[in-house]
Amino acid sequence: MPGEIVPAAGKQAARGQESAMRASHADRDRVAELLRIAAGDGRLTSEELDERLEAALSARTIGDLAGLTTDLPPVSLAPGGVVAEVKDVLTIDQRWSRVRREGRWVVPRRLELFVEWCDVTLDFTEAVITQDTLQIDLDMEGKTLTLITGPGIVVDADGLALEFSRIRNRRAPDHGAPVTLRIELVGRKRHGRVVVRRPWRTAGQWLLRKPLALPPGD
């Protein structure tokens, strides 16, 4: 239900279920690379690196892997081995101009938008995503908030209060694709729109009627 508050016990249970999920080879490889980066930065000794690498490569669950990096700063691995720092909170406070995040921008753990009469576009199709949930705290007056999503990205606007505004979801269903990112909109939107859509087709895609390309692995 809109605005429903999930009890703390329920959130703890959900986190416990996630920790108990079986780890994949990709999960183990990602943590192993993070450990090597930390050792290269001088945060781990060679003995600690060897010990944690052994634990990472033999880990059975997501919880086992998470315990190996809790004392290390959060980083994200983009394709090609590029390392990007992940911010806990990204705050955008802006008026009377356009806001865009597109390309390979690093998605924070939480995003605060305090904007007045600004068109805001958040394009997640090539973004570096490091967690399965993003909360966007919104206090927006006027204009349009546009969320451009790809396969596996869903938007939950139940926690968003609308005043003289509306939400338009142009996003096609994923037909059973696993959810990789859940975007939760909370706060207030006044005098404007919220639009959720897929990327526009190119002229060549329209002419050839080709489906939109999916990210590698989908």
Which of 12-16, 38-42, 99-103 reaches the highest mean pLDDT?
A: 99-103
| Integer CA distances (angstroms), 24 to 27, 30, 32, 38, in order | 5, 10, 12, 22
Which of 63-67, 135-139, 207-211 bottoms out in mean pLDDT, i.e. has the lowest? 207-211
What is the predicted pLDDT for the residue at 2? 42
% of the chain residues with pLDDT over 70:
74
d(CA 100, CA 102): 6
For residue range 167-200, list pLDDT tens digits in order.
Answer: 998 765 666 678 889 999 999 999 999 999 998 7
What are the two backbone dihedrals, phi and then psi, of residue 17, each rounded to the nearest 5 degrees? -65, -40
What is the predicted pLDDT for the residue at 5? 39
Average pLDDT over residues 104-113: 89
Q: Please give the residue that has the higher pLDDT: either 168 or 105.
A: 168
What is the predicted pLDDT for the residue at 16? 52
d(CA 111, CA 91): 6
Task: Give yes or no for a contact between 116 and 137, defined as CB atoms under 8 angstroms apart.
Answer: no
Helix (H) or strand (E) holding 147: strand 144-148
Average pLDDT over residues 117-126: 94
pLDDT higher than 90, residue 29: no
pLDDT higher than 90, residue 160: yes
Query: Pick from 100, 99, 69: which is nearest to 86 by CA?
Result: 69
pLDDT higher than 60, residue 47: yes
For residue range 51-84, list pLDDT tens digits in order.
Answer: 999 999 999 988 888 889 888 876 655 555 555 5
